[in-house]
Structure 1
Amino acid sequence: MKEILKGLALINLDQPVEGFRDFISCWLLQKNGLNILIDPGPASTILHLTSALNKAGVEKIDLILLTHIHIDHAGGTGLLLKKFPEARVVCHPKAIKHLINPEKLWAGSLQVLGSLAEVYGPVAPVPQANLGFAHLIEQNGLTIEAVETPGHASHHLVYKIDDLLFLGEVAGVNVPLQGSSYLRIATPPVFKYEIYRASLQKAAQLKAQHFCFGHYGHRTDGEQIFTQALNQLELWLSVIQKNIEKGVLEEDVILEQLLQKDAQLQSFHLLPADIQTRERYFCKNSIKGMMGYLLEEDD
């Protein structure tokens, strides 16, 4: 657990897979007498998470806020509730039925992620009584604003709490680097350009001072984050479209072009080798999502 600000800590949820370190952020916010967790992560690291909470003296969780229910963000929620059964879980209304009965969520995760889903672990059901949603949550004098941002997933939310904005994956994936930054788009299939762009623009309008990524870490340059993400979106779409027009559909070829042209990927060579491997995998997944959208548009 790493303290970012007074009352705000990042709990790092490393996975036993090459490059899956310094990647999944679980956030603990302690404010106005409340203990709030944002994205408790997959089932595989719930024991690690509860151990970290115990060491920090956290005896109760009041709220668990889920930005979305992809299993690396939310798959461990049901298991965590066995330790903290009083916690209220907030998620998008579309996600509630899949948390109550996670069979389709788990099957879809296996189909998309394959062996990585097995590493993250199966999704335990969440009791319906713990689940709910409201655009505004007011408790102990604290106001939490849940804002629908369906670009990365149809059930994606960002949460604004005072001067904090918990981004999930609305602006992509951030890798903290000393003296530099790396920001990578997160557009898995199914990708819809108009929805992704509108979600970025909506999140950019939420004024905050501290921006907390689901993947990974914390930044304070909000205007720059969203400008970079919007520019990256347009560049990737343009590069992929030009390749489609030339009949080039190989994701590896397109990625090499993006590594040369995208200013947000210029720090790629500074990443450790194992994290480069991880990022290549997810970059190609995003290329695949955008390519599917463009090919569908052409039809």
Structure 2
Amino acid sequence: MILEYGDLYLIELPLELKGYRKFIGSWVIKDLNVIVDVGPASTVKTLKRALDSLGVKVEYVLLTHIHLDHAGGIGHFLRLYPKAKVVVHERGVKHLINPEKLWEASRKVLGEVALAYGRPLPIPEESIAKPPEGIEVIETPGHASHHQSYLFGDYLFTGDSAGVYLDADGEVYLRPATPPRFIKELYVESLEKMISLGSRKICFAHFGMLEDPKILERHREQVELWVDVVRRNMGKDIDLIIKELLEEDKLLKPYEKLEEDIKFREMQGIVNSIKGIMRYLGEGNEDR
């Protein structure tokens, strides 16, 4: 599926896992022959077919970070587009050139989801480049130390730095993306940096565009709420934490309006984000 937003496109990259649709996408700036994130290795062929249908000859790939759902397919992609240049945080470069440690760590943490993403392939060092003219890089760590967002005109491509968004039957569903190793101070600093840019159209990797001038402020408040709820419930059953968040967090409440398979997937994300906050607060070994 290709979603059109004026002069931008979002290519959906579904996976063969329950609920993994409307999950990850690759943003296309057609006039610049630029895409933001390539998705996992297993969906590169889907991405290529969509780009061909749009008539896009990719010259630059802007990677928000190197997690497998955003960048796992970059090695496969460059075999199809060998002249394309890759923009990535300097901390991520070595893991793209030699992705073995990234792959093993991902398999350990993600299990069957990592297998569904597919094994990454190495990229040539000479493919690494600075962003093209018209693209501004915004360093946004917190979700990951190597996370960066991109500003293009009125569009802000946030990767995972502004949470996971879905349109829930006309309502905004948003949750933090705070898996280990989450650092709240950096996450909030990154949000404040993006807020300082003024009102922008937020292009979420997960999943879609949102034109709400206050959404980043609301997300900052949401992260503070989650940390507070987890802190006062440390040591309790994680189901109690989820119940309290669903009651107190207005941005999370539309979860109930999501389709059943997507609710299944999002609950996994909610649990992982809570565990990331637990680890930040000094614990986090509880299993659901």
Question: Could you state the TM-score of these two structures normalised by the residue count of structure 2?
Answer: 0.95
Work out whether residues 152 and 187 of structure 1, in 8 Å CA contact, stay in contact via their aligned partners in 2.
yes
Gap change, CA 1:14 and 1:131, over 3 Å in 2: same
Query: How big is each residue's C-alpha offset from its partner over 1:55-94, in whole Å with a ceiling of 9 and x where there is no partner?
Result: 2222x21100000010000000111111111111000000
Partner of 1:50: 48
Query: How big is each residue's C-alpha offset from its partner over 1:39-70, in whole Å with a ceiling of 9 and x where there is no partner?
Result: 01001100111011112222x21100000010
Partner of 1:21: 21
Work out whether residues 236 and 258 of structure 1, in 8 Å CA contact, stay in contact via their aligned partners in 2.
yes
Partner of 2:149: 158
Give the drift of 1:256: 1.2
Q: Of 206, 209, 216, which residue of structure 1 is paired with 2:200?
A: 209
Distance (whole Å) between structure 1 residues aligned to residue 217 and residue 47 of structure 2: 33
Work out whether residues 96 and 132 of structure 1, in 8 Å CA contact, stay in contact via their aligned partners in 2.
no
Query: How big is each residue's C-alpha offset from its partner over 1:194-252, in whole Å with a ceiling of 9 and x where there is no partner?
Result: 1111111111122353210010100111x3211221111111111111112xx41x222
Partner of 1:227: 217
Give the drift of 1:151: 1.1
Partner of 2:74: 77
The letter for the 2-side match of 1:22 is K
Partner of 2:9: 9
Distance (whole Å) between structure 1 residues aligned to residue 273 and residue 69 of structure 2: 17
Distance (whole Å) between structure 2 residues aligned to residue 184 and residue 22 of structure 1: 15
Query: How big is each residue's C-alpha offset from its partner over 1:14-60, in whole Å with a ceiling of 9 and x where there is no partner?
Result: 111111101102111022xx2001001001100111011112222x2
Gap change, CA 1:295 and 1:138, over 3 Å in 2: closer
Query: How big is each residue's C-alpha offset from its partner over 1:79-127, in whole Å with a ceiling of 9 and x where there is no partner?
Result: 1111111111000000000000000110111011001000000011111
The letter for the 1-side match of 2:5 is I
RMSD of Structure 2 on Structure 1 (CA): 1.2
The letter for the 2-side match of 1:284 is V
Q: How does 1:75-224 map to 2 (within 5 A)?
A: 75-133=72-130, 137-139=131-133, 143-221=134-212, 223-224=213-214
Give the drift of 1:138: 4.3
- Matched length: 282
Percentage of matched positions with identical amino acids: 45
Question: Could you state the TM-score of these two structures normalised by the residue count of structure 1?
Answer: 0.91
Partner of 1:39: 37
Partner of 2:268: 281
User: 3-state SS of the aligned residue for 2:15?
Assistant: coil
